[in-house]
Amino acid sequence: MLLVPGIMGSQLGVERPAPLPPDIVWLDPLDIHAGRLAALRLPARGRIVPLGLVLFSYLRLKLYLRSRGFAVDAHDYDWRLPVARLGRQLAARLHAARGKRVTLVAHSMGGLVARAALAQPGTSHVERAVLLGTPHFGSFAAVQALRGTYAVVRKVARLDARSSAEELASRVFSGFPSLYDLLPCAPASLADLFCARNWPAAGPRPRAPLLRAARRDRRELGALDERYTLIAGVGQSTVTALERRDGDFIYTLTRDGDGTVPVASAAPAGASCLYAPVAHSDLTRDATVAAAIVDVLRRGSSERLPANWSSRSRAMARVTDRALRRTHIAKVNWVALEPEERRLYLENLNEPPSLELRIAREPRGSRRAR
């Protein structure tokens, strides 16, 4: 069985000759503090390679699956690269396992990598693929990452002694093709975000050639056939729409998602889906989700999670890029943090800002439909 992490879920760095250990850049807070995140810029100047899973995100699931008898191996990869290329790399690894029983468990963007791989010839021996919180129609988190307003980008920038989140977005993150592969597309977004003209002129902007490449490469994603089971997180405050107004993006948040991926994107109509009241980053840490994964891998289904879900909440909130730029500003002195503070900072790196969702007041004189 292969465990495929999501974007930013593989460590990246530089191999060094023995007996020196690899020089990890992502995610090394001390290197980030020293400004070395610039080493990840594309096109690359040095030889950046994947160096294993980000353990605080995936070790718990990996150990659980092993404890249940699965021979688990991780498929780490350079998550900066286009999903189509990453899919071909995974397909090459799957080709080497022909003649064996193979299953996949993939999280977030890793699910798109799995789809791109299983669309390649010679992968029909893969029996099952469980996709956790995969943004099949994209995520608004990618928009915010390119704008420098995504919580992860802003928290990482707090560790960088010299650069702001906007500077990192413009100089580093906007050069990652993978982020463009995660942009929302119909039916998740009304705006064509693959057209540079539809982005605000102020603040960090996407790169037009990468927008065009992402639109083209979406054709390499394979169909969701009977081998796939999707697990979508629900009930969390999630950006589910955006609009452009007064030179800014305004995001609408509802409880229709896992905090990062809208449920309409993680659970497309017609696919075999299970639903968990779990945040995006906790889909790989939650005990019930892990047990459901084992059920699906063994017999193709699970009763631990519901197969249907509908939102009863009408609560919502709206926030602008301008407001998000006022969050996570103060720098963090990593050296001064206690070990427990460091652990919590890294574990919560993917958590979005906490915004209070409210039910909109009805206009005076209106009647609620019965």
Instruction: Give mean pLDDT, residues 214-232.
Output: 92
Looking up tokens 């693959």, which residue turns up?
194
Task: Give 254's pLDDT tier (boundaries 50, 70, 90).
Answer: very high
Question: How much of the chain, in percent, has pLDDT values that exceed 90?
Answer: 82
Task: With a cut of 80, say whether residue 160 has pLDDT above it.
Answer: yes
What is the domain extent for residue 144? 2-358
Task: Give 351's pLDDT tier (boundaries 50, 70, 90).
Answer: confident
pLDDT for the residue numbered 171: 95
Q: Is residue 122 part of a domain?
A: yes
Task: Give 69's pLDDT tier (boundaries 50, 70, 90).
Answer: very high
Q: Is residue 21 part of a domain?
A: yes
Q: Is residue 23 part of a domain?
A: yes
Those residues whose C-beta lies under 8 Å from the C-beta of residue 30, and which sit 6 or more positions away, are: 334, 335
Instruction: Give mean pLDDT, residues 152-180.
Output: 95
Task: With a cut of 50, say whether residue 368 has pLDDT above it.
Answer: no
pLDDT for the residue numbered 360: 65
Task: Give 189's pLDDT tier (boundaries 50, 70, 90).
Answer: low
pTM given for the model: 0.93
Q: Is residue 231 part of a domain?
A: yes
Tokens found for residue 239:
């950006």
Question: How much of the chain, in percent, has pLDDT values that exceed 70?
Answer: 95
The CATH number given to whatever domain includes residue 186 is 3.40.50.1820
pLDDT for the residue numbered 246: 85
pLDDT for the residue numbered 186: 64
Q: Is residue 73 within 8 Å of residue 1, measured between CB atoms?
A: yes
β-pairing verdict for 102-107 and 126-132: parallel
Q: Is residue 370 part of a domain?
A: no
Q: Is residue 176 part of a domain?
A: yes
The helix/strand count (H/E) of the chain reads as: 13, 13
β-pairing verdict for 228-233 and 126-132: parallel
Per-residue pLDDT reduced to its tens digit, 265-287: 999 988 999 999 999 999 999 99
Residue type, position 219, single letter: R
Q: How far apart are CA 226 and CA 111, in angstroms?
A: 15
- Angle value at C-alpha 322, between 319 and 327, nearest 5 degrees: 80
Q: Is residue 289 part of a domain?
A: yes
Q: Is residue 364 part of a domain?
A: no
DSSP state of 351: P
The mean of the pLDDT values for the chain is 92
Instruction: Give mean pLDDT, residues 127-139.
Output: 97
Highest mean pLDDT pick, 187-196, 212-221, 253-262:
253-262
Tokens found for residue 190:
């009304």
Instruction: Give mean pLDDT, residues 111-125.
Output: 95
Tokens found for residue 329:
């500003």
Task: Give 220's pLDDT tier (boundaries 50, 70, 90).
Answer: confident
Per-residue pLDDT reduced to its tens digit, 81-117: 999 999 999 999 999 988 788 999 999 999 999 999 9
What is the domain count for the chain? 1
